[in-house]
Amino acid sequence: MRRRPLVAGNWKMNTTIREAQQLAEAVVKAGADVVDRDIMIAPPFTALEAVSRIVRDSTSVQLAAQNICWAEKGAFTGDISPVMLKDTGCSMAIIGHSERRHVFGEDDAMINKRVLGALEFDLVPVFCVGETLDEREAGKTMEVLENQVRSGLAGVTADQAETIVIAYEPVWAIGTGKTATVEQAQEVHAFLRRLLGSMFQKNIATQIRILYGGSVNPENVDALISQEDVDGALVGGASLKADLFDRIIHFR
């Protein structure tokens, strides 16, 4: 079964509200002819509402937050609740991105709370995992990924698992211009799918979309997504350039 591909843009800490509106308009236009794949964009929190007005009428573009709190409201200074995100029009949330893990020190237990919180409020988690260069060179890639997946998805039910999106983003490939080879990506994606099959059920694992992320660009996207278990891309830098993202959306 070929899963419906998803091309996701993670704008990180970029764009003013005005810039976000312009970029979102370009993405909606670029995605207007798209019928067989989904598009997601994750602007900064400050631009979510403005961007939501632009993507509202698009059938292909979904709005995502770059992180999400587990609680509905309360004393969580600096975090944003699932209810607030839904209020702005978000249907998805990136969770466990390597910058949250490595720059802000979020651990697996916190990431798990965020995943469960998103699911509780019917937001689709885009749950990110990935090994560092040291871990890869030490031959620990699969072990690290298995730990991240098992702890990040602890307590997730089989029904919920079906709806989530996983993003494999090797830390050494993010923002570095180094991409995993198609063989490295496929090897990890197949491993993750087998792992999900053992945690949930094989037929559920078959439906979960696993995206590749890390220096995805117009030159490498086609080969990556042509791999059996690569169901789309999570794009950082190239998602900020309308023409590049347009080409990536139209991977073939």
Which is nearer to ligand PGA, 1 or 13 (by Cβ)? Answer: 13
Contact call for residue 96 and ligand PGA (CB under 6 A): no
Q: Is the dihedral of CA 20, 11, 215, 29 positive or negative?
A: negative
Please return the burial class of 14, using the count of CB atoms within 10 Å of its CB with bins 0-12, 13-18 and 19+: middle
Backbone angles phi, psi at 210, to 5 degrees: -115, 115
Contact call for residue 237 and ligand PGA (CB under 6 A): yes
Compute the distance between CA of residue 168 and CA of residue 61 in angstroms, rounded to an integer: 21
Which residues lie across from 127 on neighbouring strands?
95, 166
Identify whether 106 is a catalytic site residue.
Answer: no
Per CB under 6 A, the segment of 82-90, 130-138, 187-195, 210-218 that binds ligand PGA is 210-218
Per CB under 6 A, the segment of 20-28, 101-109, 149-157, 235-243 that binds ligand PGA is 235-243
Other CB atoms within 10 A of residue 228 CB:
10
Which is nearer to ligand PGA, 4 or 102 (by Cβ)? Answer: 102
Cβ–Cβ under 8 Å, residues 84 and 45:
no
Identify whether 102 is a catalytic site residue.
Answer: no
Residue 206 to residues 20, 28, 152, Cα–Cα distance (Å)? 35, 29, 19
Contact call for residue 67 and ligand PGA (CB under 6 A): no
Region 8-37 residues binding ligand PGA, contact defined as CB under 6 A: 10
Selecting among 97, 99, 106, 135, the annotated active-site residue is 97
Which is nearer to ligand PGA, 166 or 216 (by Cβ)? Answer: 216
Residue showing the smallest CB distance to ligand PGA in the complex: 236
Q: Pick one of 106, 169, 229, 231: the residue that binds ligand PGA (CB under 6 A).
A: 169
Write the DSSP assignment of 192-232 as a string of letters.
Answer: HHHHHHHHS-HHHHTT-EEEEESS--TTTHHHHHTSTT--E
Buried b (16+ CB within 10 A) or exposed e, 142-163: eebbbebbeebbeebeeebbbb
Contact call for residue 64 and ligand PGA (CB under 6 A): no
Which is nearer to ligand PGA, 9 or 82 (by Cβ)? Answer: 9
C-beta of 20: minimal distance to ligand PGA in Å?
A: 17
Per CB under 6 A, the segment of 68-76, 100-108, 158-166, 230-238 that binds ligand PGA is 230-238
How many residues sit in the footprint of ligand PGA (CB under 6 A)?
13
168 Rama class: left (phi>0) / alpha (psi -120 to 50) / beta: beta
List residues with catalytic annotation: 97, 169
Residues binding ligand PGA (CB under 6 A): 10, 169, 174-175, 213-216, 234-238
